[in-house]
Chains A and B, each alone.
Chain A
Amino acid sequence: MFDDFFIRALVAGIGVAFVTGPLGCFVVWRRLSYFGDTLAHSALLGVTMAYSFEFNIAISVFIISSVIALILIQLQRKTNLPGDALLGLLAHSSLAVGLVVIGFLTFIRFDIMGLLFGDILAVTVNDLIIIWAGGALILLVLKLIWKPLFASTVNYELAEAEGLNPDRAKAIFTILMAAIIAISIKMVGLLLITGMLIIPAAMARNISDNPQKMVLFSIIGGLLSVIIGLFSSLEFNTASGPSIITASLVLFILSLLKIKQSIQLKN
């Protein structure tokens, strides 16, 4: 009924959604949307590195994004610039350097659009293994650091005072962010990865009254977005990333109706 490439894309997208669901909640809670953007922009540099040295894209992106995250932490410590300025600096300079490097790589044919907005045709069986194995690993680590990470998200000082070591949890979470970007870049594209993290989580926030529910709804929202998005991508021949994100936007708008309802109920 469907072509193999489509089944692969679907399986890949479902794998990604399972991971972006919970991570996205933390991105929303900890106000890390721009941090996610910065890592995603730097992913382009990672991709060009992968092409230059004929290296695996996911691993290369993961390494470059982690390095950018480390640089960011260093800059935050050493300079007096505000956080958003540093994020913008790193996001745009790494994107620019990535594009310049692409200019030099004339011997390779680049599908820039696919890179920026995702390409379901590009998902290979190898990518599936990386997404599902990497995704499972990310979720496992997230489960291990859940308590300190969540506690310090609610209140850093409480977590620190009561011996949960929130700094370590934060550092590990940063690496997880780099990892999710690395495994989802082919599906969603680097310009839209943060949308995949934020929008389902934002939708979930509208309809949940506790953190567990929000994570669950965020995963469900992500899954629905991927499935609806990919089918419409196939149907209308649109890029996969924008289709998925548009689907998640529709879900978000629907969740607003629920808020309106509950406000009316209160009054």
Chain B
Amino acid sequence: MGTNSNTLVKLKNAGYQQNDKWLVKGVSLEVEKGKIVTLIGPNGSGKSTTAKIALGIYKKFDGEVEKYTNKIGYVPQKVSIDWTLPLRVRDFMVLTENLKEEAIDEALSLTGVVHLKHKNLGNLSGGEFQRVLLARAISKKPELLVLDEPVQGVDFTGEIALYELIKKISEELNCGILLISHDLHTVMSATDHVVCLNGHVCCSGSPSDVAKNNEYKALFGEQAAQTLSIYEHKHDHVHSNEGEIKKN
């Protein structure tokens, strides 16, 4: 992975410790324009931490972070909006960037929540709020999108539509995406590069490479390996018997 002009953010051997405990250690990865990098791993494996290192939210980290863009859209894993703040969806959309009304409407339409524009943020359901979060992140037409479990709480059909949208955005805006997800099924078809974390990088590579990795299998179980490979098949039209993977 040499740095080239398409690189948006690059982590070299990055780590972060809190209260003398390493949350994540030795992570190297690179997000390029138009590419989707997905972080997977069990709870507490350091996925969100890695994203926060890349974003510069954590300042006292180990290793190196090179960032080549300031146009960033972020969907955090947890956002709690305080009731002391009267905030409508519209106010939230222009939180970090001044947008024209059309740009607000366009982004909200893409995630299917334009009808909520004048609603109070506190009155939204979990799934609706998640759609607003995603709309806000894409509305500023970022070069780098960091999506930390962007479809949590979204209904099943919505989930698929939003993942398709994420893929479409990466193509249309040619932006790089760092995606964190538990949902191996839907994600893998769209991912260019998978990094599997478990406090450190357990394995990384294309979805099919990762699926074959023994450490990955140990971490997620045989079932998950099947999941990945099934999607590889669909994606690349590679057929095999007994779930074995043949390369093109």
Whether A205 and B56, one on each chain, are in contact in the complex, defined by CB atoms closer than 8 angstroms, is no
Give chain A residues whose Cβ lies under 8 Å from the Cβ of B140: 162
Looking across the interface, which residue of chain B has its beta carbon closest to that of A164? B96
Bound Cα distance from A163 to B146, whole angstroms: 13
Whether B52 and A157, one on each chain, are in contact in the complex, defined by CB atoms closer than 8 angstroms, is yes
Smallest distance from the beta carbon of B178 to chain A beta carbons, Å?
A: 11
B95 touches which one: A29, A158, A208 (CB < 8 A)?
A158
Given contacts A151-B96, A209-B88, A210-B88, contact A162 B73 (CB under 8 A): yes
Whether B86 and A210, one on each chain, are in contact in the complex, defined by CB atoms closer than 8 angstroms, is yes
- Flag the segment in B77-85, B167-175, B180-188 that touches A: B77-85
Whether A158 and B81, one on each chain, are in contact in the complex, defined by CB atoms closer than 8 angstroms, is no
Looking across the interface, which residue of chain A has its beta carbon closest to that of B75? A158
Bound Cα distance from A151 to B76, whole angstroms: 14
Whether A155 and B56, one on each chain, are in contact in the complex, defined by CB atoms closer than 8 angstroms, is no
Contact with A along B58-88 (1 / 0, CB 8 A): 0000000000001011101001011011111
Whether B55 and A160, one on each chain, are in contact in the complex, defined by CB atoms closer than 8 angstroms, is yes
Whether B76 and A158, one on each chain, are in contact in the complex, defined by CB atoms closer than 8 angstroms, is yes
Give chain B residues whose Cβ lies under 8 Å from the Cβ of A160: 55-57
Given contacts A157-B52, A157-B74, A162-B72, contact A147 B96 (CB under 8 A): yes
Give chain B residues whose Cβ lies under 8 Å from the Cβ of A73: none
Give chain B residues whose Cβ lies under 8 Å from the Cβ of A210: 86-88, 90-91
Whether B146 and A158, one on each chain, are in contact in the complex, defined by CB atoms closer than 8 angstroms, is no
Bound Cα distance from A209 to B88, whole angstroms: 7
Asked if A232 CB lies within 8 Å of chain B CBs, one says no
Whether A154 and B70, one on each chain, are in contact in the complex, defined by CB atoms closer than 8 angstroms, is no
**Residues 93 to 129 of chain B near chain A (Cβ within 8 Å):** 95-97, 120
Asked if B163 CB lies within 8 Å of chain A CBs, one says no
Asked if A159 CB lies within 8 Å of chain B CBs, one says yes
Give the size category of A's interface with B.
20 to 34
Smallest distance from the beta carbon of B117 to chain A beta carbons, Å?
A: 12
Smallest distance from the beta carbon of B46 to chain A beta carbons, Å?
A: 16
Bound Cα distance from A28 to B85, whole angstroms: 9
Smallest distance from the beta carbon of A160 to chain B beta carbons, Å?
A: 5
Smallest distance from the beta carbon of B77 to chain A beta carbons, Å?
A: 10
Given contacts A205-B84, A205-B86, contact A154 B92 (CB under 8 A): yes
Bound Cα distance from A39 to B211, whole angstroms: 58
Chain B count of residues within 8 A CB distance of the other chain: 26
A159 touches which one: B92, B96, B120 (CB < 8 A)?
B96
**Residues 28 to 56 of chain B near chain A (Cβ within 8 Å):** 52, 55-56
Asked if A213 CB lies within 8 Å of chain B CBs, one says yes
Whether A161 and B87, one on each chain, are in contact in the complex, defined by CB atoms closer than 8 angstroms, is no
Looking across the interface, which residue of chain B has its beta carbon closest to that of A201? B84
Smallest distance from the beta carbon of A215 to chain B beta carbons, Å?
A: 10
Whether A209 and B120, one on each chain, are in contact in the complex, defined by CB atoms closer than 8 angstroms, is yes
Give chain A residues whose Cβ lies under 8 Å from the Cβ of B73: 162
**Residues 133 to 177 of chain A near chain B (Cβ within 8 Å):** 147, 150-151, 153-155, 157-164
Bound Cα distance from A208 to B91, whole angstroms: 13
Give chain A residues whose Cβ lies under 8 Å from the Cβ of B85: 29, 153-154, 211
Interface centre among A150, A157, A205, A208 (most CB of B within 10 A): A157
Asked if A214 CB lies within 8 Å of chain B CBs, one says yes
Give chain A residues whose Cβ lies under 8 Å from the Cβ of B52: 157, 161
Give chain B residues whose Cβ lies under 8 Å from the Cβ of A211: 85-87, 91
Smallest distance from the beta carbon of B130 to chain A beta carbons, Å?
A: 14
Give chain A residues whose Cβ lies under 8 Å from the Cβ of B55: 157, 160-161
Whether B57 and A161, one on each chain, are in contact in the complex, defined by CB atoms closer than 8 angstroms, is yes
A158 touches which one: B74, B87, B120 (CB < 8 A)?
B74
Smallest distance from the beta carbon of B16 to chain A beta carbons, Å?
A: 14
Bound Cα distance from A32 to B96, whole angstroms: 23
Bound Cα distance from A28 to B95, whole angstroms: 18
**Residues 101 to 149 of chain A near chain B (Cβ within 8 Å):** 147
7 pairs from A and B in contact (CB 8 Å cutoff): A154-B92, A155-B76, A155-B79, A155-B81, A157-B57, A162-B72, A211-B87
Given A31-B84, A161-B72, 17 more contacts at CB 8 Å? A29-B84, A29-B85, A151-B95, A154-B87, A155-B76, A155-B81, A155-B95, A157-B76, A159-B96, A161-B55, A161-B57, A162-B72, A162-B74, A163-B72, A209-B120, A211-B87, A211-B91
